[in-house]
């Protein structure tokens, strides 16, 4: 079992819709989770951090964490073409010496 | 404030040459990380520095790879006798500490081995 699983996509949504991105992880001891956005040819950019069960909202982004189910998701409301990118979920490895990244979900928002 | 700065942004070199990549972390960030991302692939951890502690080199793929960091400042990643499989984007990240702190990435160095 991979440590982090994400659907590679592409996930295609129309402009204005809600995009839902999902991530499952194997380490039950994980306490913090991060969502990064990576545009083609660019480096990852942190968009959300979440540490406790439930929802965390920041503008059009909502991160949802369910530790019992080992599941973290990212919702993007009112999707825009500029949201088209690869979204990576990540959590600290044991020893906190690195982030373990999923392979990423490619999101395409079409006008 | 200034973000993580990496140089050069692009490097093209011949197979067998040595290369040195530089990373300047965000001021005040004690932790520094190097990752590698091959084309179309995920991020691969290489090495981690935390303050004056011994670095975690567990991700370095071979003894041709080495990295240094002086205190909590600049880090250099050196690849000796480069091979074509070393072609990738090398990303540096820093964080305020370890544990639950998010990492912030530089723009990366795109390395191409001819």
The conformation of residue A18, written as its DSSP 8-state character, comes to P
The mean pLDDT of B64-75, rounded to a whole number, is: 92
CA distance A11 to A81: 13
The conformation of residue B104, written as its DSSP 8-state character, comes to E
Question: Residues B11-33: pLDDT tens digits?
Answer: 999 999 999 999 999 999 999 99
Copy the structure tokens of residue B96: 């305020």
Say if residue B100's pLDDT is above 80.
Answer: no
Calculate ∠ Cα B43-B45-A62, nearest 5°: 50
Q: What percentage of chain B exceeds 90 in pLDDT?
A: 81
Instruction: Tell me the shortest Cα–Cα distance from A8 to chain B, in angstroms.
Output: 11
CA distance A37 to A85: 6
How many CA atoms within 13 Å lie on the side-chain side of B5?
7
CA distances in angstroms from B68 to A102, B27, B56, B106, listed in the order given:
27, 17, 11, 17
Q: Give the per-residue pLDDT at A3.
A: 84
Structure-token match 């809600």, residue found: A18
Query: Residue A97 region, left (φ>0) first, then alpha (ψ -120 to 50), else beta?
Result: alpha
CB–CB contact A92 B99 (8 Å): yes
| A63 neighbors A33 (Cβ within 8 angstroms) | yes
Among B48, B98, B107, select the one facing A43 at the smallest CB separation. Answer: B107
Contacts for A22 with CB less than 8 Å, ≥ 6 apart: A6, A7, A71, A72, A73, A105
CA distance B31 to B49: 6
> CA dihedral defined by A21, A25, A28, A34, rounded to 10 degrees?
-50
Q: Give the per-residue pLDDT at A1.
A: 61
Say if residue B98's pLDDT is above 80.
Answer: no
Q: Parallel, antiparallel, or unpaired: how do β-strands A4-6 and A71-76 relate?
A: unpaired
Copy the structure tokens of residue A28: 């039950």
**Is A95 at the interface with chain B, CB within 8 A?**
yes
Contacts for B91 with CB less than 8 Å, ≥ 6 apart: A43, A44, B6, B34, B35, B36, B37, B43, B105, B106, B108
CB–CB contact A31 B100 (8 Å): yes
Say if residue B1's pLDDT is above 60.
Answer: no
CB–CB contact B107 A32 (8 Å): no
Say if residue B94's pLDDT is above 90.
Answer: yes
pLDDT band at A31; cut points 50, 70, 90: confident
């Amino acid at each position: 079992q991979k440590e982090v699983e994400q659907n590679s996509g592409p996930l295609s949504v129309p402009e204005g819709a809600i995009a839902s991105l999902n991530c499952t992880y194997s380490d039950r001891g994980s306490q913090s989770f991060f969502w990064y956005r990576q545009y083609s040819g660019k480096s990852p950019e942190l968009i959300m951090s979440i540490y406790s069960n439930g929802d965390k909202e920041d503008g059009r982004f909502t991160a949802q964490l369910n530790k019992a189910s080992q599941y973290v998701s990212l919702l993007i409301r009112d999707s825009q073409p500029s949201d088209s990118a690869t979204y990576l979920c990540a959590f600290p490895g044991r020893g906190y010496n690195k982030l373990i990244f999923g392979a990423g979900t490619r999101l395409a928002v079409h006008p | 404030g200034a973000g993580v700065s990496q140089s050069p942004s692009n490097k093209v070199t011949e197979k067998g040459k040595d290369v040195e990549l530089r990373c300047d972390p965000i001021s005040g960030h004690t932790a520094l990380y190097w990752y590698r991302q091959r084309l179309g692939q995920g991020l691969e951890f290489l090495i981690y520095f935390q303050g004056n502690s011994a670095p975690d080199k567990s991700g370095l793929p071979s003894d041709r790879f080495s990295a240094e960091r002086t205190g909590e400042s600049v880090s250099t990643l050196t690849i000796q006798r480069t091979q074509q499989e070393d072609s990738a984007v090398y990303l540096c990240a820093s964080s305020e500490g370890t544990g639950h702190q998010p990492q912030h990435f530089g723009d990366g160095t795109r390395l191409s081995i001819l």
